[in-house]
Amino acid sequence: MHFFKCSQGNPNPSPNPNSTNLNVSKTMQTSYFLRAVALINMAMPASSTMQRGRSIRRAAYASMARAAGSRRVWSRAVLRRLQHRRERLIRRPSGAGRRFVIRRRIRVSTPREPTQADVLRRLVPGGKAMDFCNLLEETANYIQCLSTQVSLMQTVADSISG
Amino acid sequence: MSSRRSRISEEEINELISKLHSLLPESRRRSGASRASAAKLLKETCSYIKSLNREVNDLSDRLSDLMATMDTNSAQAEIIRELLRS
């Protein structure tokens, strides 16, 4: 199975280097996602629909982050999260131990109302550690990758449902 | 919060804000208007990200249902076909 055939050699070479990068990135995102879905299909034939749905959702964010690579704070944060999850599952292979990990966090009391910037920091992975300027830039890139992922998933779903 | 903040020019922030503005879906309607207030833009950005996350969730469930109703071989074939098409 040659999943990466289409990522080699851009059939439409464009003079604008930025759009070429975007095309390559979109292609990579597509290949990662389809490969992950194929693996889910093969490896979990007996799983419940809900479980498979969760795996597909993880695959969606994973392929976004892998395509963006380590260049972005948000993609590094997503990949870190997934890595921690894998390590946790290796320690407890059943995976059905404590479903809810209680994380003790030292709460810095914020008496003021959370601003929109605070909300944004929660929504963008790794947002808490960024300064405001980086946050805006990361947000723009995150939104681009998210909407690419959504349209890619729509295309796959439409083509499967015939 | 570090006390050492690099000097970010207002110009750079405005640039980033207009870039973000152009990425939001409703911004095309108001393309003639002067730049939206930063707070309003952030609010729209947050709700846009939330709606995108919801769409990913819904599409994941939809794909999961579709995979359940297809037999393995044709699902694989369909996926590979889609890959070669894009």
Q: Does B1 reside within a domain?
A: no
Q: Does B28 reside within a domain?
A: no
Q: What gap in Å lies between CA A151 and CA B10, rounded to an integer?
A: 34
Instruction: Encode pLDDT of A100-156 as tens digits.
Output: 666 666 777 667 788 888 899 999 999 998 888 889 889 999 999 999 999 999 988
Backbone Cα Rg of chain A: 18
Q: What gap in Å lies between CA B62 and CA A154, rounded to an integer?
A: 9
Q: Does B77 reside within a domain?
A: yes
List CB contacts of A23: < 8 A, sequence separation 6 or more: A10, A12, A14
**What integer pLDDT is reported at residue A83 of this predicted model?**
92
Number of domains in chain A: 1
Helix axes A73-91, A49-68, angle to 10 degrees: 140
Number of neighbouring beta carbons within 10 Å of residue A18: 8
Q: Tell me if B86 and A30 make a contact (CB, 8 A cut-off).
A: yes
Q: Do A143 and B48 touch, CB atoms closer than 8 A? A: yes
Q: Does A109 reside within a domain?
A: no
Q: Does B8 reside within a domain?
A: no
Q: Tell me if A56 and B82 make a contact (CB, 8 A cut-off).
A: no
Q: Does B2 reside within a domain?
A: no
Interface of chain B against chain A, CB under 8 Å?
A: 5-6, 8, 12-13, 16-17, 19-20, 23, 39, 42-43, 45-46, 48-50, 52-53, 55-57, 59-68, 70, 72, 75-76, 78-84, 86
Q: Does B3 reside within a domain?
A: no
Instruction: Encode pLDDT of B8-47 as tens digits.
Output: 677 777 777 788 878 887 655 555 444 557 778 888 899 9
Q: Does A143 reside within a domain?
A: yes
List CB contacts of B70: < 8 A, sequence separation 6 or more: A160, B78
Task: Provide the domain limits for residue B53.
Answer: 36-86
The number of angstroms, rounded, from the C-alpha of A50 to the middle of its chain's C-alpha atoms is 19
Q: Tell me if B86 and A157 make a contact (CB, 8 A cut-off).
A: no
Q: Does A9 reside within a domain?
A: no
Q: Which residue has the higher pLDDT, B72 or A25?
A: A25
Q: Which of A30-34, A73-77, A84-88, B76-80 has the highest mean pLDDT?
A: A73-77
Q: Does A112 reside within a domain?
A: no
Q: Does B81 reside within a domain?
A: yes
Task: Provide the domain limits for residue A43.
Answer: 21-88+126-161
Q: Does B72 reside within a domain?
A: yes
